[in-house]
Structure 1
């Protein structure tokens, strides 16, 4: 039976596809984020993909699959034969199937893909390539090192050219079937270059700290010969490289730089003691050269980098001394302000303009730095993006660094961009809505098509009843929530102690922890208690899904001016979100459709009470939600 990899996120769709394929194929559902790893572990015969994912862009997924297994047919389930479908065809997708599909037509597409796979397998015949300029089997060290010296003279400053040239030299000089080089980066070895090797396969290989090859190279730090190894795990990893010899390279400090993987000798000869010694000499010599080459390239890069920054930095830079006199005034600063450096150097900050000088002196006086603040300077009729920071010496400001940029163009374009983004947003909502609705229809239509034929099968009726019933229920919830977002809801407002509402809501979520008491904080607000409880339930439900059963959702309250503040914090990372992402809009990226709609309804309810809710998403996965309600006087 052919192995069919099903890459979909919707459980109902995955169950439907698995049921359809299980009699004639071996279907396996794979999470989109694990596709690469799954393909490397076992190559599929056919791959089925959806047209939209929460965790990964569709194009990135298809390109990843095509790189790993370019000969495997991909069947894509699409909402329509529109731009997305055309883009998929351009990326090399084998077949497009529009949802909801007819099961018979779908199986026909699967069978065609199966025949294509068989035809491709027949075409594959082993081919052995021999180098035309293969040297004799006798090793001539003088010739080798003479040629190596020539390569160094030509490529020393560029390791990206030096390494491939040396790999080819070793391969040809020793008459090897293949040779490759792996570079050590961040506690793992990755493929760098090779000759007569499967680059696509090797590029996806990573020998990490847990691999046997990594551990042996780091610990032994000597040449490994396949015929002298009895560790089965190590042997299997070396065989992945089709290598007979592993030749490590060591830095002057004893750190491993990388290794050569050398294949069989085309002459049929073995690696004698003389050849192994010769390889050891190559390793010692080339290790030093490679380390120096990388250091040389890094120095060149740093010099070029600094030069480019000084000549082309797109921001104005002004540096003041402790007396607020200008000591550095770069070209871009002069261009933005319309000033010549000769007119302002060694003069006070006021020489560039009173408004800007006043802003800087205010920051110096309060010792409060300015970070990326947008200010409008009337003198220049321009918007500036401005930062101002200090260098201290013995507790006093010794230098003031001002960095600014003319952002007038961007501010003027902001309004226009908002209109464009609004149109794009509604296109996105329409696409996600179509996706959310069509997925349940796949199960419903499949059930309807197969019902006459399989009605007598109790297994079919039982399994599909559960699938179809769940999909219908999901569709109903989806429609109900969209209707709530579009309709104006009536509120029954009363003066209510919001702390009581918090306590009542938290009882439904065991991992939500709220303060034991109010500690004198005013929590009386004018709300519809039932609606606010519903909004809090939606928010707590999201937090619990994100953090899992073992975490804790912490809730705190505070009184700020005339507002009651509720802060909800959790450190979950089950739901991958972008920093700065607005998760309170319908069908926000990476979120399940119903969860996203719940959060949108949550914000609508709070804003209907003249309140606000905001979210902060931190790099490590922590999330903080802040709710503000206007207080009623006691």
Structure 2
């Protein structure tokens, strides 16, 4: 506490009084005057004044103690300022009170708290800070000189400036006392009290007490400021710690960038935050928050250009308090006043720049710069890690895509004979779903199948197989021919061995090979059959002629008539057989047209209706709706259905059932198809004969020619169609015909 405050007192005459000449209530308090006062004043009056001084001082000390205790409570600096002006008003019997604090950045004196003013006056006080150089008034003078100014009557004071007079008129001030707030000799602000309805009369002791109050108030305000600053820093560090957890917990770069910009905005109190990353000698905006302007993408800034480019080039942070005075500033967002930019540095590489900006000038401090640097350093490390992770994931996905796109099935089996991985093609070839076989043993999946034995030998005996062919029965009862290859994997970091099995579906290849063999065989057989037919037909004509001649010349008896009848029947059978052989070998081109397959089926059934009735066979037609028209030769396809229907009738006893179904097949590599299924409940085909049923002259019927199904197969080939057999021995046979849907004839 100052024992002798430095102040300037203005008497109502306007003359400046030094402390040694200060008068209180008309009394002389100079050195000589004090001696005279001792003579003049009675002991009772002295005692009364002393008691009043002690009471006022006691109130002052109580107020200071009361306010000091607030520092130990979780309240804001504004609350402490409020308590200060309240206590000042109460202790010194003031009508109004104010506290001004100096803003060094703006070089202004700003009102921080007031009491006793009207709402309009309060709004004006806060809206118009005093310029330390431009505004000549008692408040700025005290803030500059550190001298106390006491004005008893402003109306009669000639030393009041024009600006003082204007403020007194606005605020209706009669008298005031203005005292500096100091900390270690540095002026941090001004405390002021005034009267509007009467003169403010202060004695020298009152000034001393007011000075003491101001000194303690300065300490309390500074402590409150430091406490608020520390609390802010602690809050920022806690926020930084929380942000660090958030950024470290995500491995998605886009989400990470959003977290970074959002929280950088939060901890610095900025208006907008922009994150730029380096890309081929440029900076690109990858995330931006906090402004009406929404980043649309495509913005590029050269390294070294603008504030962000300079920071990226130099690798050092930059604090710009006023962008209007910064030549490196390039306006991207309008209305920016100050900028703080920090480089993102990881392993001596600048990955980008984190920029926070405010609409206000001088919005950021050195503390903000240090905090943003810590945040930027952590962000750079995390971004580097996430990029590396994304690169690893990308490479892994590329490898997975290569495997998934492989035209061959790929299966990985570990040393415990468990399937650890497989691709989509393997699922398709095996007819199994990935989720049903992963982490299961091959003995469970392929129990009782040849493939299980082959794969077990590969694991147990370390056999290397090369295109080993295995017949495989799928769950849908279809059979496939698989080609298997194996290779060993390098043991992983746990020392686990595994093998890769490559699977090729050879079914179509084998079918094509068989077809080529069949075509070659049929071609040779057809040529030979045609030659034989021609060789037989000429002698047969002579035999037929001679037999007819003999029948006319011989005496007809019963025995001779039977012999001739058998001869003519035999000749006729040979003629029919020769015709079929020649029809089979004849290369007749189909005459294609577009039509309904259902109509052809119905016409074929009409042709064999007598045979159907004779055998009392039940016909079931299950035709699907919406079957499109098919391109075919109606006459040839009718022959196909007649042959198949007759084959079915001949395989059944009386009272049998023949079912004809149509369906629209799914899209596959051959396109979409119309599927016709002809099923009977006859005796079926022995398994050993299935591969031969379409061979010419193969028949199990005593009077059959073995050409019916061969002709069917030939016609289907000419139509780019396909026929297959689904046989159940002793339970019936199904012929499945696949007709391609063609748009052009």
**TM-score scaled by length of structure 1:** 0.34
Highest CA radius of gyration, 1 or 2?
A: 2
Structure with the bigger RCO (C-alpha within 8 Å, sep 6+) is 1
**Structure 2 length as normaliser, TM-score?**
0.30
